[in-house]
Structure 1
Amino acid sequence: MTVLEMLRGVRPSADADDAGGAPSQAPSWLPLPVRDVLVGVATGVLSLLVVVVPTLLGWLLDPRPGGSLAEPLGAGSSLWLLVQGAHLGADATRVAFVPLALGALAVWLASRGAGRALETADADDEFFAELLPRSVTATAARWWLGYAVALGLASALTLVGSLPLRWLSLPVPVVVVPLVALVLAVRRLSREADVLGPRFDVLVPPETARRAGGAAARGLALLLGLATATVLGAVVVRWDAVSGLQAEVGAGFLGSLLLVAAQAAALPNLALWVVALLAGPGFSVVDGAHTSLAGSASGLMPLVPVLGAMPEPGPWPWFTRLLVVVPVLVGAYIGRRSLAAVARLSSLRTKASVAAFACVLVAAAVGLLDGIGGGSLGAYRLSDIGAHALGTSLAVGGELLLGALGVVAWDAWRLRR
């Protein structure tokens, strides 16, 4: 039984006694306010262990001479904060790279913990500022306090590690991650009880946005799926180079497994680089080593095995520029899905609006994910890596719109024949 499962048992009972009296309160070994804070602490600690335990295992199997147990504890804590958006480093060195798969896992774990805390909240309580029931608001605040305590513990542990925390970036894991987790938890709770106050009525999306949501989700999944397949295909084609770099690292068996897991966690980041490549702006692994549809420039790469899948430096054949049509075709797919979301005889304006809004949503999601992923692994030539979020978003948006509106125009022409 986990700590969260133990704390879950501390909840009020709504069962009435046999005489038909008022609902009785189940005996509790812990006051509910304290329980909510402890659930927040347990949520943060369990999430922290997901990163710290593998780090400790890797150190125990291959300890450094003269090192202490504090070093892997501090390094693991730094990496956990990095996953949630904090920056690491000192002076000119800045590490701001969030493996998106691990970041999503951290948010999911936090949302599950927040959901456990909200199980004891009274959804029928009066609303606070017409937003949420007072009980839900108070429970969420106490859980947030507990999660902040866990973040404070991890921040203190970074002081004994070799990856110092940039303290000005700490508000991201303290504010943004718990806020997103609570939004997800309240959204799940709202499916079972009416916990959203009148002020949320203005947040009802317009009809165009609701119809465009499904097409946008499918289009984003297709675009990232194609990019991910491209990354995996490049790894297979250049397996000798990738495996050679893996052997050069000399991390040992467990260390190699951890390295593979870390690279797998960064697979969505690499997929976004491929999206930038297909859209036109391209990406850079290090300063001076830019890769675009025109070719790839050389540069001293960091010793990361998956980067061995990069193509050889030099110009590419002219027909590789035709790959820019891939986002256009994805836009055409979004256009087809948008047409399926509206009535066949809807006006051209309605169809075009839904298709265009879906493309804007996909482009915004690409830019947001790339911005969250960050783009720095150190100093100097590693201080700006990856794709430019705004440039990629604009390029992807334009190409998606070209394909989607082309399909809508073709559909309108067919109807008028």
Structure 2
Amino acid sequence: MAGGAAALAAAAGGLAVLVTLTAVGWITAPHVGLGGGLAGVLRSAGVLWLVAHHVEVTVRGVGRIGLLPLGLVLLPGVLLERAGRWMTHGGHVTRLRHVGYAALAIALPYALFTGAVAVASRTPAASASLWQAVIAGFLLALLAGGLGAARALAPWRKLAALLPPRPRSVVLGMVTALAVLTACGALLAGASLAVHLHAYRQAVTSLSPGPAGSALLLIAGLSYLPNSVIWAIAYLLGPGFSFGLGTGVAPSASALGAVPAFPLLAALPAGTKAAFPPWLGFFVLAAPYLAGALAGLMTVRIAPTPTLEAAPLWGLLTGSLAGVVIGFGAKLSGGPLGAGRLASVGPSGAEVALVAVLEVGVTAAVVAGAANWLLLRHHIRKLAVPARQHARAGLAPAAVVPQTRDETDDAGGHRIYYDPWAGQRGD
């Protein structure tokens, strides 16, 4: 019952925010045709709430709308994270091993609620996918609610310490690679928008949104910023992305057709030539290799291995996992905009993942192997210093007195402990 109350509170909070934004848009621009007065506003807000869970919408006469803003997922994600924290603060969860139960207690009723909203918000003009609503609601509540419950019980450092050294090194190395690529992608997206600022202003002026419409347009642009960062990462990796059938945006050149009048799309590079000079292109395209190098270094620094052949394999695993995550994000960042020419928008998840594995993964493997070899060499030299000092002083190396004897012929593997000074006591 506590999980159901937390799920209902999180869902109601998200719906309240989106109903308010939808009502503002309906009041300031009644000609958009939400239909049915207040009932139409509520249904539209319900569809928008499902879009915040990355649920596709089918519009009659247009087709599937799958190019959804990833930034809008933060709204239900934050509310569900707070719901997980409330479960712990209310005394329902006191141990980390019970976090999974708390997450399930929130996720199951939340999934039922998202399915109910998908059914209730259907109209002859538009309908959200029911199965996507149930699955997306369950997964988002499970992850965000579980994270909130875990974070309320322990800080990040303690949660990371729960992992053994080897898995922790792989996870932190993967996070390092993703952080570097995200920072470079955000920098590239922001630079492109700054270069095309004049086109952005022209797009806003052509829409004539008014004060309230400008605010809503700004919110819409901010909600698509994570999509633009992922597209910029795909651009850095090389495959780029498309904006319609027969189009492509890549570091070498771009081929774009007609683009919708959305101001954020003004940042797309257009032209048959490269968007930047060769000297700058070298630094731009070197970002994935930098991410792989730091990932391999982080993997080895946390958990070095005495086997030289194993370090490159762990680095390759770290970079490959980062590539898979990038490919999954590329898949989520794109989608169709109807059944016409814009049926294919965004990067290809499979291509981006494969190229990321080749660039980030291989670089991480090489750097991990080299760093592990240097680290072992440094420790060997450090251990050899006392032996050389004893040799120069004419002293024999300190003898190591054995304290245990391992009887390997014994099936039980028992150990015999003895006192090496027993014969000196005169017993």
Q: CA deviation at 1:215?
A: 2.4
Tell me how many residue pairs correspond in the alignment. Answer: 366
Q: Which residue is equivalent to 1:396?
A: 356
Match of 1:250?
208
Q: Deviations over 1:219-240 (max 9, x none)?
A: 2111111111111111111101
SS class of match (2:309): helix
Which residue matches 1:180? 143
Q: Report the counterpart of residue 121 of structure 2 in structure 1.
A: 158
Question: Does residue 324 of the first structure (1) align with residue 299 of the second (2)?
Answer: no
Cα displacement (A) at 1:94:
0.6
SS of the residue corresponding to residue 315 of structure 1 reads coil
**1:360 matched to 2:320:** yes
Shift of 1:260: 1.6
Alignment partner, residue 58 of structure 1: 25
Q: Do the aligned partners of 1:99 and 1:266 also contact (CA within 8 Å) in 2?
A: yes
Change (3 A) 1:351 1:90: same
CA distance in 2, matches of 1:301, 1:206: 49
* Contact 2:103–2:141 (CA under 8 A) maintained in structure 1: no
- Matching residue's letter, 1:338: T
Equivalent position of 1:110 in the other structure: 80
Is 1:151–1:174's contact at 8 Å kept on the other side of the alignment?
yes
Q: Of residues 231, 236, 247 in structure 2, which corresponds to 1:289?
A: 247
In the TM superposition, residue 80 of structure 1 has moved relative to its aligned partner by 1.2
Asked if 1:170 is matched to 2:133, the reply is: yes
Cα distance 1:50–1:122, how it changes in 2: closer, same or farther (>3 A)?
A: closer
What's the % identity of the aligned pairs? Answer: 24
Gaps of 5+ in 1: 1-32, 126-130, 193-203
Q: CA deviation at 1:410?
A: 4.4
Task: Give yes or no for the alignment of 1:97 onto 2:55.
Answer: no
Mapped contact 2:115–2:134 kept (Cα < 8 A): no
Give 1 or 2 for the bigger CA radius of gyration.
2
Letter in 2 for 1:105: L
State the partner residue of 1:16.
Answer: none
Per the alignment, residue 81 of structure 1 pairs with 50
Q: What is the RMSD computed on CA atoms of the aligned residues? A: 3.3
Q: 1:232 aligns with which of 154, 173, 190?
A: 190
**In structure 2, what is the equivalent of residue 201 of structure 1?**
none
Q: Mean alpha-carbon deviation: is it higher for 325-334 or for 222-231?
A: 325-334
Candidates 213, 223, 233, aligned match of 1:275: 233
For the Cα contact (< 8 Å) 1:39–1:143, is it kept in 2? Answer: yes
How far, CA to CA, are the matches of 1:330 and 1:157 in structure 2? 46
Structure of greater relative contact order (alpha carbons < 8 Å, 6+ residues apart): 1
Residues 74-121 of structure 1 deviation map (CA, whole Å, 9 limit, x = unaligned): 222111101212110146611123322221332221132233245446
Q: Is the 8 A contact 1:82 1:96 kept in 2?
A: no
Counterpart CA distance in 2 for 1:143 and 1:335 is 37
Contact 2:81/2:149 (<8 A) preserved: no
- 1:301-326 per-residue CA deviation (whole Å, 9 max, x = no partner) reads 11211111112221328837744332
Distance, in Å, in 2 between the alignment partners of 1:349 and 1:326 is 26
Give the TM-score of the pair, scaled to structure 2: 0.75
Please tell me whether the aligned partners of residues 69 and 227 of structure 2 are also in contact (alpha carbons under 8 angstroms).
yes
Cα distance change on mapping 1:114 and 1:283 into 2, 3 Å? same
* CA offset digits 1:42-100 (Å, max 9, x no partner): 21010122222112112212222875233332222111101212110146611123322
* CA separation of 1:56 and 1:318: change in aligned 2, threshold 3 A: same
SS at match of 2:76: helix
Letter in 1 for 2:70: L
Aligned to 2:270: 312
SS in 1 for 2:239: coil
Question: Cα 1:377–1:206, aligned 2, differ >3 Å: closer, same or farther?
Answer: farther
